[in-house]
């Protein structure tokens, strides 16, 4: 490129004149956050005029096992508590994501032109499951068939369906404070979860020819309308989950008579659907010290063998929930145990097929109770009457009072031996803690999931980590410890945590692991456990059964802890910066005493400590003139530059004569002063955690707040004072800040130790057609199973932390 000299000169001149914009890491966040108002206050609490809508449901539904179809009718009563008059209502039709031409299906992309061609491993390549998902999706008759939308008197209501959303136009606008009821009749075909993915669906067991149904997003649900967003009717594309209103549910589920149903809510008609023995066992479970089997494995195995053509209707009621889900199968083993603490009084229950044992019988219900016990400490008292863990095809998914959890042991196809790996075991306990934990976030602290995945997944994964660590010491948590987020923080393909749910890159790391780790760092390193726990609990208490936004969380954490955390939210939630603090240089200063006896001796010591030059070393050996002529020596051969003179002593006496006593004391203290340079390479400002090691072997920590970077966010010089000589300094010695490069954290620098693995040279033979032709023929062997790649699987993988 050719640049004229004058233009270049101009450029240089202008850049020299303009002050570089100061990178203020502590700039207040208010200009990014919404202005506080009467609905949401500046302290992060709901305002005095806070309002939210309400939707009550009466649903009657039937599961057609043979057709794998659900049909139902519902009456929704919608309460307009807003100050606004509404001309229309929006309803969510999430099943429409299974339509052949759904946005979710149409917008799927492939990795690149040549990604599959270059694939060398199963991880890189396209899976059988992936192709089956695409091909089956093209044929599956999914999505809602809406039979009617009408007023209670039977008058049809005008509606229009916009993909996964339906707008119902009201004949008369709904004024503030009014409510209205309307009816919807619908049906849909249930997806085979292992083929089509998703957060619900059925699983077919070829061995006994039975199905297990996990049913969710199954009835048309009111979209949320709220002060910040208006109608939340962003399309359901697969990643951004659900934004819902609270209400009461009255649900009647008609299923095959030999099915066992697990459901959100309290069973209203146990006498009609349970045997006397089952009711008796349930009563015993309430006060039992360990889980009690309501349906034993033997009873479930017996039920698998025949199929009832009769039906039973299970009647449930659930108060103040934002959603309703259920599961149904004749394969279910069922156990239960009561748990009471403070205002919590809950029956913890698990439903699982025999294929889930022995893991499930041992751990599921125990994990449900453990979760509630721990989350109650950090958030709020579990308010619902039941808490359920269901095993089925879905890897991990949450609903009020009920969750789907996928981990199972492995059965050897040849020998039938059942074993489970360490990852299986802790994966199951972890996913149950996670999904049951979602009762708190977002089922009760009802954040807008369609907008912000981190508000429920991040907060929940954080408390999950705390609950896992309370299960057993050194529980192998995959998320929460700062050192485990380092690889992600170093990675290139990132977006900030504050990114819409559908636009997140590296979903599991971005929306689960990073916010969970950030909160753990906030708790352990920035605020301390006492201040943090109070603030976090305040947030849960303020926003239970309400809808918080990110600003409400940020503001509450600051308000209740009394700490300006704007820099922390700005760095961790609004940028993709990483922590990399480098210890660059260090200078030791002793305090000059001005006493020539001391100072000249010190100077001589410094001089003598210098290495002798190479010439001087060799010149020791050559003959010197003075050796033979000692008469040439004089005063200067006896006294070097470090000889103390009377003039020095007089000057010293003169200098200290006018000093105040405290000034004289300072000269004698003998403290060691160090100027240490730190640079902020990663961009994220963090506190300095300095481990100082003294000559005597004593080690101690000094914690310096992040504000040390306020005037100079890139490079600072810090004065350290020690009582004796310092021999080592380490920044972040316990790896608590997720520093992405610790090779620059210590003085003196520490050596990296590793292991060199040697490999055999590849001497494999060239293709030999004759040898291959003569090889004996073996029986064909089957491939192992791989998981399919689709958005819903991403969620399941993210939930179980396997991404």
In sequence order, the 6+-apart residues with CB closer than 8 A to the CB of 648 are: 596, 600
DSSP three-state, residue 526: helix
Which tokens in the block code for residue 540?
Answer: 């849960």
CB of 437 to Zn ion, least distance (A): 8
Closer residue to Zn ion (CB): 143 or 396: 396
Closer residue to Zn ion (CB): 481 or 799: 799
Closer residue to Zn ion (CB): 555 or 795: 795
Which letter does DSSP use for residue 510 in this model? I
In sequence order, the 6+-apart residues with CB closer than 8 A to the CB of 91 are: 76, 165, 166, 167, 168, 184, 220, 221, 222, 223
**Nearest alpha carbon to residue 62 among 213, 198, 279:** 213
Count how many Cα atoms sit within 13 Å of the Cα of residue 26 in the half-sphere of its side chain. Answer: 12
Round to whole Å and give the CA distance between 59 and 231. 24
DSSP three-state, residue 678: strand
Closer residue to Zn ion (CB): 328 or 405: 405
Round to whole Å and give the CA distance between 408 and 413. 15
CB of 390 to Zn ion, least distance (A): 15
Closer residue to Zn ion (CB): 299 or 799: 799
Closer residue to Zn ion (CB): 142 or 430: 430
CB of 395 to Zn ion, least distance (A): 10
CB of 136 to Zn ion, least distance (A): 26
CB of 373 to Zn ion, least distance (A): 19
CB of 409 to Zn ion, least distance (A): 23
The packing angle between helices 454-471 and 359-378, to 10°, is 110
Report phi then psi at 717, rounded to 5. Answer: -120, 130
CB of 453 to Zn ion, least distance (A): 9
Closer residue to Zn ion (CB): 457 or 577: 457
**Nearest alpha carbon to residue 244 among 272, 269, 225:** 225
In sequence order, the 6+-apart residues with CB closer than 8 A to the CB of 618 are: none
CB of 122 to Zn ion, least distance (A): 26
Round to whole Å and give the CA distance between 167 and 160. 5
**Burial category of 207 from C-beta neighbours within 10 Å (exposed 0-12, middle 13-18, buried 19 and up):** exposed
Closer residue to Zn ion (CB): 388 or 583: 388
CB of 406 to Zn ion, least distance (A): 13
Which residues form the interface with Zn ion (CB under 5 A)? Answer: 457, 799
CB of 479 to Zn ion, least distance (A): 11
Partners of 692 in beta bridges: 700, 729
How many CB atoms within 10 Å of residue 794? 17
Round to whole Å and give the CA distance between 654 and 643. 19
Contact 522, 573 (CB under 8 A): no
CB of 509 to Zn ion, least distance (A): 14
Round to whole Å and give the CA distance between 585 and 207. 69
**Burial category of 270 from C-beta neighbours within 10 Å (exposed 0-12, middle 13-18, buried 19 and up):** middle
In sequence order, the 6+-apart residues with CB closer than 8 A to the CB of 778 are: none
Closer residue to Zn ion (CB): 323 or 457: 457
Closer residue to Zn ion (CB): 227 or 799: 799
Round to whole Å and give the CA distance between 799 and 432. 10
Closer residue to Zn ion (CB): 211 or 457: 457
Closer residue to Zn ion (CB): 335 or 457: 457
CB of 316 to Zn ion, least distance (A): 24
């Amino acid at each position: 490129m050719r640049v004229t000299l004058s233009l270049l000169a101009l450029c240089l001149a202008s850049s020299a004149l303009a002050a570089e914009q100061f990178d203020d890491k502590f700039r207040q966040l208010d200009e990014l956050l919404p202005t506080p108002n009467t609905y949401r206050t500046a302290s992060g609490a709901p305002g005095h005029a806070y309002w939210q809508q309400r939707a009550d449901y009466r649903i009657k539904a039937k599961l057609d096992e043979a057709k794998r179809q659900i049909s139902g009718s519902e009456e929704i009563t919608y309460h307009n508590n807003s100050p606004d008059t509404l001309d229309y209502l929006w309803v969510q039709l999430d099943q429409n994501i299974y339509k052949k031409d759904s946005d979710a299906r149409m917008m799927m992309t492939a990795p690149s032109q040549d990604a599959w061609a270059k694939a060398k491993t199963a991880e890189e390549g396209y899976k059988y499951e992936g192709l089956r998902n695409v091909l089956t999706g093209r044929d599956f008759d999914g999505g809602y068939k809406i039979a009617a939308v009408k007023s209670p008197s039977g008058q049809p209501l005008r509606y229009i369906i916009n993909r996964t959303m339906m707008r119902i136009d009201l004949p008369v606008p709904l004024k503030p404070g009014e409510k209205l009821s309307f009816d919807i009749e619908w049906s849909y075909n249930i997806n085979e979860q292992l083929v089509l993915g998703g957060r619900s669906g059925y699983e077919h067991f070829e061995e006994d020819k039975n199905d297990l149904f996990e049913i969710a997003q199954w009835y048309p649900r009111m979209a949320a309308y709220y002060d910040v967003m208006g109608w939340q009717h962003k399309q359901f594309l697969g990643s951004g989950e659900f934004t819902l209103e609270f209400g009461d549910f009255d649900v009647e589920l008609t299923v095959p008579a030999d099915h066992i149903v697990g459901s959100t809510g309290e069973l209203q008609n146990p006498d009609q659907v349970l045997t006397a023995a089952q009711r008796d066992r349930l009563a015993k479970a309430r006060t039992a010290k360990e889980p009690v089997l309501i349906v034993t494995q033997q009873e479930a195995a017996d039920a698998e063998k025949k199929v009832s053509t009769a039906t039973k209707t299970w009647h449930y009621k659930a108060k103040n929930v934002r959603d309703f889900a259920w599961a149904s199968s004749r394969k279910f083993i069922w156990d239960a145990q009561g748990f009471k603490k403070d205002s919590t009084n809950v029956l913890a229950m698990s439903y699982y097929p025999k294929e889930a044992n022995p893991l499930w019988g041992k751990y599921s219900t125990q994990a449900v109770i453990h979760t509630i016990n721990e989350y109650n400490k950090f958030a709020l008292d579990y308010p619902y009457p039941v808490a359920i863990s269901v095993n089925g095809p879905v890897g991990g998914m949450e609903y009020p009072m009920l969750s789907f959890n996928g981990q199972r042991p492995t059965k050897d196809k040849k020998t039938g031996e059942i074993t489970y790996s360490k990852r299986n075991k802790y994966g199951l306990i972890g996913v149950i803690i996670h999904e049951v934990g979602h009762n708190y976030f977002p089922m009760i602290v009802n954040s807008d999931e369609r907008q912000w995945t981190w508000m429920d997944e991040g907060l929940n994964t954080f408390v999950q980590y705390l609950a896992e660590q309370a299960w057993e010491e050194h529980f192998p948590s995959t998320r929460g410890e700062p050192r485990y987020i380092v690889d992600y923080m170093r990675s290139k393909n990132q977006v900030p945590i504050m990114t819409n749910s559908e636009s997140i890159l590296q979903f599991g790391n971005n929306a689960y692991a990073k916010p969970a780790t950030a909160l753990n760092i906030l708790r352990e390193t920035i605020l301390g456990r006492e201040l943090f726990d109070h603030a976090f609990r305040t947030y849960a208490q303020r926003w239970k059964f309400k809808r918080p936004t990110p600003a409400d969380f940020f503001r509450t954490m600051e308000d209740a802890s009394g700490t300006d955390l704007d820099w922390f939210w700005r760095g961790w939630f609004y940028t993709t910066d990483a922590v990399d603090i480098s210890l660059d240089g260090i200078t030791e200063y002793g305090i000059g005493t001005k006493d020539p006896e001391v100072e000249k001796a010190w100077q001589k010591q410094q001089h003598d400590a210098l290495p002798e030059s190479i010439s001087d070393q060799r010149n020791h050996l050559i003959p010197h003139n003075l050796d033979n002529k000692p008469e040439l020596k004089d005063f200067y051969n006896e006294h070097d530059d470090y000889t103390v003179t009377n003039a020095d002593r007089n000057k010293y006496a003169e200098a200290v004569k006018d000093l105040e006593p405290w000034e004289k004391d300072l000269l004698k203290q003998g403290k060691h002063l160090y100027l240490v340079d730190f640079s902020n390479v990663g961009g994220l400002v963090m506190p300095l955690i300095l481990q100082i090691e003294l000559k005597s072997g004593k080690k101690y920590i000094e914690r310096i707040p992040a504000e040390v970077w306020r005037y100079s966010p890139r490079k600072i010089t810090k004065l350290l004072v020690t009582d004796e000589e310092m021999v080592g300094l380490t920044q972040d010695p316990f790896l608590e800040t997720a520093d992405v490069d610790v090779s620059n954290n210590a003085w003196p620098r520490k050596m990296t130790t590793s292991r060199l693995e040697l490999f055999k040279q590849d001497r494999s033979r060239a293709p030999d057609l004759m040898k291959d032709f003569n090889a004996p023929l073996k029986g064909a062997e089957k491939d192992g199973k791989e998981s399919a790649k689709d958005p819903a699987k991403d969620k399941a993988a993210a939930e179980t932390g396997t991404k």
